[in-house]
């Protein structure tokens, strides 16, 4: 290099003709290389056209040494060029440095500045220099450096644990989270074999996948895997491994990513436990239902039979205060068992098949049951149900539901007025909403809203109020994927809205 430059400058020095200078300027321009020269005797500085152009100064600009040095960016670059230049002057040392300048137009540029001291009689008389604009090159380099750093910090700070693993399983590089998941320092993990971190029981999960990836049968795999932390505790991870190959498809290394799923594992375990508990409780409930439906019924049935026989065979034994009370107690017991049975039946049955039922037919049937009560009370019944509406229901449940709400509407009428019951139905999305509206006593919902569909809850001092109807009804509606709503005002009336699934014809 030096020889080439020396030649160039010798030519320039030897021939001061303008033509040669412009020739050199052309060469310099095309290379983006300028030259400069400091005559130490006169302290005169000469800049070539290219050097001036890099500095972005006028063609006739000619600086002194101080001004020339001032172009270098204040701070370390200006300090450095000062030292380098002084060394060249005083000690005859060459220099070659990459430095930052601020041009006359205030642009920052990277330059390569080379200085050659010229000796005459062992004394430096001149410094010849080369000046090259390397901004573009430097910027490209810096950009690469920046990108590399960006990738490095991204990996380092990624929310997952990441590691580069060699083909033999040794850790080549790893990020912060990989270390912190496992409780080790980076130093401790570098170059260790990744399978040493595995939970002993999970150590055989990986090798087959690794083999398949090396054999090019696949490029990645994912699995759940336990690792042992430094403190001996277990961490559940979701591990993803992919293989990196070179252009010739030769395997280079693996990228392993781990996500800590210990928490969700724990939650899953809890859910599983709850499911198990629910299952066993359900079994117990079914057993209980069986006890109610069979054993208790047997006993109460026996009591009923014995009482009947007593009355027949030894009538004199029944003519006292006790017998009627015992008899009543036994009847109540049987009735309660019967009720419990119905409830248990709905709740423990497998999901029943829903059939398509004509709502108007069922409503008319249910009303038929109450013919006597309707005549008795002069009740006015208004039905507004399209005869094409079919609902999906268990027929027995649909019967029971309609009977219950209609019976309530008649039963809880106001003392002094004729009951008016409006029944209508409308389609809402996939449901049929059945409204049963009465002008009866009403229910104080402020007081009873939460327990209106509860077991053995009654809201009126009616002799027939058993507190079971609404509970069973609600259970039956729920069992058919439906729902029920209530609106009521004391002394104004009650409207029950029943939603049942709609059967499209």
Partner 1 sequence: MKQINSVCLIDDDPVFIFAIKRIFKLSDVCENFTVYNNGEEAIEGLTQTIASGKHIPELILLDINMPIMDGWQFLDEFTTMTVSKKITLYLVSSSIDPVDFQKAKEYELITDFIIKPVTRKTVIDLVENMTQNQ
Residue 193 makes CB contacts below 8 A (sequence gap 6+) with: 168, 169, 170, 171
In the complex with partner 1, the residue whose CB is nearer, 68 or 479, is: 479
For partner 1, the closer CB: 29 or 341? 341
Backbone phi, psi, residue 355, to 5°: -115, 165
Nearer to partner 1, 154 or 311 (CB): 311
In the bound state with partner 1, the residue whose beta carbon lies nearer, of 195 and 338, is: 338
In the chain, the N- to C-terminal Cα span, in Å, equals 95
Task: List residues bridging with 113 in a β-sheet.
Answer: 97, 131
Stretch that binds partner 1, among 92-100, 123-131, 288-296, 381-389 (CB under 8 A): 288-296
Find how far residue 419's CA is from the centre of its chain: 56
Segments of 190-346 assigned E as strands: 220-228, 234-245, 251-260
236/397 with CB nearer partner 1:
397
Stretch that binds partner 1, among 255-263, 307-315, 419-427, 432-440 (CB under 8 A): 307-315
Does residue 279 bind partner 1 (CB under 8 A)? no
Q: Whole-number minimum distance, CB 401 to partner 1, in Å?
A: 18
Is 301 a binder of partner 1 (CB under 8 A)? yes
> How far, in Å, are 61, 236, 270 from residue 266 at the CA level?
78, 9, 6
- 293 is a site residue for partner 1 (CB under 8 A): yes
**If you search the block for the tokens 């859910």, which residue do you land on?**
271
Quick check: 283 binds partner 1 (CB under 8 A)?
no
- Which of 350/463 has CB closer to partner 1? 350
Interface with partner 1, residue 305, by CB under 8 A: yes
Buried b (16+ CB within 10 A) or exposed e, 339-360: bbbbbbbbebeeeeebeebebb
Cβ within 8 Å of residue 110, ≥6 positions away? 98, 99, 100, 133, 134, 135, 137, 138, 139
Binder among 60, 313, 353, 416 for partner 1 (CB under 8 A)? 313
**Interface mask (CB under 8 A) for partner 1, residues 332-371, using x and -?**
---------x------------------------------
Our finding on whether 298 is near partner 1 (CB under 8 A) is: yes
Residue 138 or 327 with smaller CB distance to partner 1: 327
Helices (H) and strands (E) in the chain, counts: 17, 17
Burial class (CB in 10 A: 0-12, 13-18, 19+), 434: buried
- Of the candidates 25, 56, 304, 399, which one interacts with partner 1 according to CB under 8 A? 304
Q: What is the residue whose two structure tokens read 């020339």?
A: 68
d(CA 135, CA 479): 78
Q: For partner 1, which residue of 176, 199, 265, 297 counts as binding (CB under 8 A)?
A: 297
Whose Cβ is closer to partner 1: residue 203's or residue 326's? Answer: 326
Q: Is 66 in the site for partner 1 (CB under 8 A)?
A: no
CA distance 496 to 473: 12
Cα 471 to Cα 466: distance, rounded to the nearest angstrom: 10
| Contact region with partner 1 (CB under 8 A), list: 2-10, 265-273, 305-313, 415-423 | 305-313
How far is residue 16's CA from residue 481's CA, in Å, rounded to a whole number? Answer: 105
The answer to whether residue 316 forms part of the interface with partner 1 (CB under 8 A) is no
Residue 25 binding partner 1, by CB under 8 A: no
Provide the sign of the torsion angle of the four alpha carbons 257, 259, 262, 266, taken in this order. Answer: negative
**Beta carbon of residue 291, minimum distance to partner 1 (angstroms, whole number):** 11
Nearer to partner 1, 394 or 477 (CB): 394
Is 327 one of the binding residues for partner 1 (CB under 8 A)?
no
Closest approach of partner 1 to the CB of residue 443, in Å: 32
Among 308, 335, 361, 492, binds partner 1 (CB under 8 A): 308
Shortest distance in whole angstroms from residue 310 CB to partner 1: 10
| Contact call for residue 294 and partner 1 (CB under 8 A) | yes
Q: Which of 86, 287, 302, 444 binds partner 1 (CB under 8 A)?
A: 302
Beta-sheet pairing, 420-428 with 380-384? parallel
List residues binding partner 1 (CB under 8 A). 293-295, 297-298, 300-302, 304-306, 308-309, 312-313, 341
């Amino acid at each position: 290099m030096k020889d080439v430059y020396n030649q160039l400058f010798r030519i320039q020095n030897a021939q001061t003709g303008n033509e040669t200078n412009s020739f050199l300027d052309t060469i310099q321009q095309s290379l983006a290389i300028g030259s400069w020269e400091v005559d130490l005797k006169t302290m005169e500085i000469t800049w070539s056209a290219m050097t001036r152009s890099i500095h972005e100064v006028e063609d006739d600009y000619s600086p002194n040494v101080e001004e020339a040095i001032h172009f270098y960016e204040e701070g370390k670059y200006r300090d450095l060029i000062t030292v380098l230049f002084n060394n060249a002057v005083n000690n005859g040392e060459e220099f070659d440095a990459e430095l930052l300048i601020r041009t006359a137009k205030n642009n920052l540029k990277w330059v390569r500045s080379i200085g050659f001291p010229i000796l005459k009689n062992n004394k430096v008389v001149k410094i010849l220099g080369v000046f090259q604009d390397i901004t573009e090159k430097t910027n490209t380099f810096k950009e690469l450096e920046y990108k590399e750093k960006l990738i490095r910090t991204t990996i380092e700070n990624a929310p997952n644990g990441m590691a580069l693993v060699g083909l033999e399983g040794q850790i080549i590089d790893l990020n912060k989270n990989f270390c912190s998941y496992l409780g080790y320092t980076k130093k401790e993990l570098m170059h260790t074999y990744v399978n040493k971190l595995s939970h002993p029981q999970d150590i055989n999960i990986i090798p087959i996948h690794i083999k398949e990836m090396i054999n090019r049968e696949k490029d990645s795999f994912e699995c759940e895997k336990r690792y042992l932390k430094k403190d001996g505790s277990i961490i559940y991870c979701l591990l993803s491994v992919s293989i990196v190959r070179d252009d010739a498809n030769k395997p280079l290394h693996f990228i392993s990513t781990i996500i800590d799923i210990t928490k969700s594992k724990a939650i899953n375990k809890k859910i599983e436990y709850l499911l198990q508990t629910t299952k066993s409780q359900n079994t117990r409930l079914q057993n209980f239902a069986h006890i109610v439906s069979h054993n208790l019924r047997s006993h109460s049935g026996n009591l009923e039979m014995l009482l009947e026989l007593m009355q027949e065979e030894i009538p004199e034994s029944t003519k006292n205060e006790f017998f009627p009370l015992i008899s009543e107690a036994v009847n109540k017991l049987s009735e309660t068992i019967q009720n419990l049975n119905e409830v248990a039946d709905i709740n423990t049955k497998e999901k029943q098949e829903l059939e398509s039922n004509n709502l108007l037919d069922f409503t008319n049937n249910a009303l038929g049951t109450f013919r006597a009560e309707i005549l008795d009370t002069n009740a006015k019944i208004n039905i507004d149900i399209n005869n094409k509406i079919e609902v999906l229901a268990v027929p027995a449940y649909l019967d029971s539901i309609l009977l219950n709400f209609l019976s309530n509407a008649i039963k809880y009428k106001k003392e002094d007025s004729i009951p008016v019951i409006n029944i209508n139905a409308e389609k809402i999305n996939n449901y049929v909403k059945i409204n049963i509206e009465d002008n009866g006593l009403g229910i104080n919902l402020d007081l009873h809203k939460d327990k209106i569909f509860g077991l053995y809850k009654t809201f009126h001092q009616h002799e027939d109020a058993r507190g079971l109807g609404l509970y069973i009804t609600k259970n039956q509606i729920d069992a058919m994927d439906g729902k029920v709503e209530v609106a009521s005002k004391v002394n104004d009336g009650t409207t029950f809205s029943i939603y049942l699934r709609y059967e499209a014809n």
